[in-house]
Amino acid sequence: MASEARDNIGLLNQSTQKTANDARLRITLLVIAIVGSLGLLYWQVQNVALLFAFLALAATTGAIVYFLRPQNSAADEETSALADWAVTRLVADQSNVGLAITDRAGRLVCANELFTKWFNGPAVPPQLPFQDGGNELLATAGRNAWRDGRGYAEGLKRGVAEYNAKVIRAGQGDEYLLWQFKPQRRSDILEDTIRMVGGATGRALSEAGVLTCVIGGEGRIRGSNQGFALRATGREEANISGRNFINFMRSDDKGTIFFERDGRHGTPVRLFHIPLDRSQEKGPALILLIDDDGGMVERGKALEQIESMLSLLPLGLALTDRDGRFLFFNSAFGKVAGLREGEKPLYPGDLMIRDDKSAVADAVRRYASGPTMSGDLAVRLRSGGEDPVALGIAGIRGLGDAAVLLSIKDNSEETKLKSQVAQATKMQAVGQLAGGVAHDFNNILTAIIGHCDLMLLRHAPGDSDYDDIQQVKNNSNRAAGLTRQLLAFSRQQTLRPQILQLPDVVADVSNLLKRLLDDSIELEVKHGRNLGLVRADPGQLEQVIINLGVNARDAIESTGAKGGKISITTQMVAASDVRALKSDILPVGDYTALFVTDTGKGIAPELIGKIFEPFFTTKEVGKGTGLGLSTVYGIVKQSGGYIFADSKPGKGATFSIYFPVHKMSEQETAQTMEPLKAVAKKELWGSGHILLVEDEDMVRAVAERALTRQGYTVVTASDGEEGLQHLEDLAEGEDIFDMVVSDVVMPNMDGPAMAKEVRAQYPDMPILFMSGYAEEQLRKSIDLDNVAFLPKPFSVAQIAEAVGEILAEHAK
């Protein structure tokens, strides 16, 4: 290329020389023509005077022509020079060598397009964007050219490209330098390879499973295709240029090569190293990698073995190739996918609804060409309705055409569990709602029952209003029983557990239960021997037995048959018997069990898991609230027991309740040995100074009137802050309050916060809390010792009795 550029400059010099020679030739010929003409004229006329006259005429004409010729201005000469350099630039642009011309002042006179492209504009040699001292080498070459006519510089680096330069002194007066730049051949190959790997060719190789990258002589990555980036980093768009190739690879003690990211169980790869410059021992190279199964088993044979194994598994499994076409699927896969016998879909997307087809196809292609990773998708089958199924996808290698393993799983059980969790969450929310409703309802019932008691004090039995008032009170007490059911359902009711024998409770309630049954229904009660003691609230246990008995009665009556039988059985269940049951729910231990069996129509299998849910009932509208069994469940669980339902359609149902046997302490044993004392009638009258704090006006009014009628002096407050203010406002010498009666939940300052302030000033002050919430629920927030609790709703006699007992105990 340097010789070609030299030839181009030589042609320019030859053209200038030829023009001068042509001018001299024309003058010589003109002189010869004039002399010849004079000789011919003299030979013809032989007259010297005429000859001189002709010569004078020729000289005069020549002078006139000379002086009348067009004169070239300085601008014309400059334009001519620019035209000459434009021609030079046009010729230089035809070269595949970067060319530039500078004058003795170091100014750039001319440069071709290739030079401008390589060095970002018309830069002036030797001040070019070279690295590692390249411009110093170029300056030395320029000095050598001025001195010797030629200069050379090699290995001029700019990025990944390297150039060789030749500098030639040129021009008629040697007043110019011609700079020639030629890239080294390996830079062309390197750049072309990098463009190829990062472009469409590299993507096509990725889809074919060929991973490619280009590395420099120092081992750093210059470019890669998407497949290599995905396998090396997990992301196709990752920029890994400049990073060390060896950091992404590893090898075992046998020399097998793996990707570092694939871990110990990754797929081995076969590596091909293609040098881009064979003249260098450690030069740039193209790296090709393909998955390698190690040659241990023939791929076709291995695939046959895998298919045979997959066909035996109960899991839905299938294999696809890199393009996503089915190669194999077992019968379990076809069954879950809803395929008919002999149906063979082409792609997995053919099994899905239209909205999920593209997502499945994209996922299969991605796992087929990337690293050996796995994941899953929630998709909806064409034959499965709206319920989604889990489609597992895993990339596999070393099995010939098979590239992706698919698994499909029926999510019906998982959906059922999610539904149960949602139902449990809903039950918890309903339980909290029930507790709140019971609290508000208890406040209302407290006011109703209290006012009924106050009115009954003014009426004697037989009065016209007495029976009406008594009826209102009785209905209010029934409503109070409903709130207890709500609290039992939410497991927030106040329990007053006692140590008792279960047969005694059954005996007490069996007479009441008989009155609730039809005469055609037989009630059978059996008690086992050696029953252990249980610790429970007898009133709540009676509620459990009543609810189960009524539920059994309704089941028998729903059959339409006349008559039936309800059996209530108590039995001792030893730890060995529990172990034999192999129950995952019932812990091993000694229990006293209660079994309630009926001869009704039984419970359908799809309903038996819902019978303890609140408001669930199979009865007609208006004939059941759905709270009976849920209340039983709440009471049993809060008492520390376990309840199970067992039924076969048409053969009745059995409810089994297990209460842990209570081990009595020495103190409890001593108390049971003490003789019973006669209980005197409690005196409700008393005297004392009482601070009553209650935010509900109607409840505060009833409690104030009830205590005032019994002889107490009562000061009322609507919240805790007002109650503390009453304590501070006591006149000097005035007796302090003998007792504080307070609601628990109040605005501004609640009861426990106020009680702590009271106890800080008066440590021995007795405190009685009253609330419509359950005592167990409030004990955590009260966090005080020696406080009493009165559940709402209460009667006039109950609050007077509670206050009297506390004051009497404090006076001892």
Structural contact between residues 706 and 716, judged by C-beta atoms closer than 8 angstroms: no
Output the CA torsion 528→532→537→540 (10° steps): -30
Separation of alpha carbons 715 and 704, rounded Å: 8
Contacts of 99 (CB under 8 A, 6+ apart): 5, 92, 110, 111, 112, 114, 115, 178, 179, 180, 181
DSSP letter (8 states) at residue 574: -
- The number of residues in the chain equals 812
SS3 of 638-671: the string is HCCCEEEEEECCCCCEEEEEEEECCCCCHHHHHH
pLDDT score of 239:
87
Give the tokens for residue 606. 């799809």
Cα 327-329-330 angle, rounded to 5 deg: 145
Q: How many Cβ atoms sit within 10 Å of the Cβ of residue 501? A: 15
Compute the distance between CA of residue 557 and CA of residue 561 in angstroms, rounded to an integer: 7
- Bin 536: left if φ > 0, else alpha if -120 < ψ < 50, else beta: beta
CB within 8 Å of 104: residues ≥ 6 apart: 175, 176
pLDDT at 31: 58
269, 287 Cβ separation under 8 angstroms = no
Give the tens place of pLDDT for each residue, 229-245: 988 888 888 888 889 99
Question: Residue for token digits 């006591």?
Answer: 730
Alpha carbon distance 438, 516 (integer Å):
27
Ramachandran angles phi, psi of 449, nearest 5°: -65, -40
Give the dihedral of Cα atoms 237, 241, 246, 249; nearest 10 deg. 10
Q: Which amino acid, 44? A: Q
pLDDT of residue 594: 94
- Token pair 């110019």 is found at 176
Q: Which residues of the chain have a pLDDT value below 50?
A: 1-16, 19-20, 64-83, 186-187, 295-297, 621-622, 672-681
Please say whether the beta carbons of 157 and 130 come within 8 A: yes
What letter would DSSP give residue 381?
Answer: B
| CA atoms in the 13 A half-sphere facing the CB of 633 | 18
User: How confident is the model at residue 187, as a pLDDT?
Assistant: 47
Note the pLDDT of residue 12: 41
Q: For residues 682 and 434, is the Cβ–Cβ distance under 8 A?
A: no
- pLDDT tens digits for 134-187? 889 999 999 999 999 999 998 888 876 788 999 999 887 888 999 999 887 544
Q: Do residues 715 and 692 lie in contact, with contact meaning Cβ atoms separated by under 8 Å?
A: yes
For the chain, how far is it from start to end, CA to CA, in angstroms?
123
Strand 689-693 and strand 739-743: the pairing is parallel
The residue to which tokens 């009524």 are assigned: 550
State pTM to two decimals: 0.40
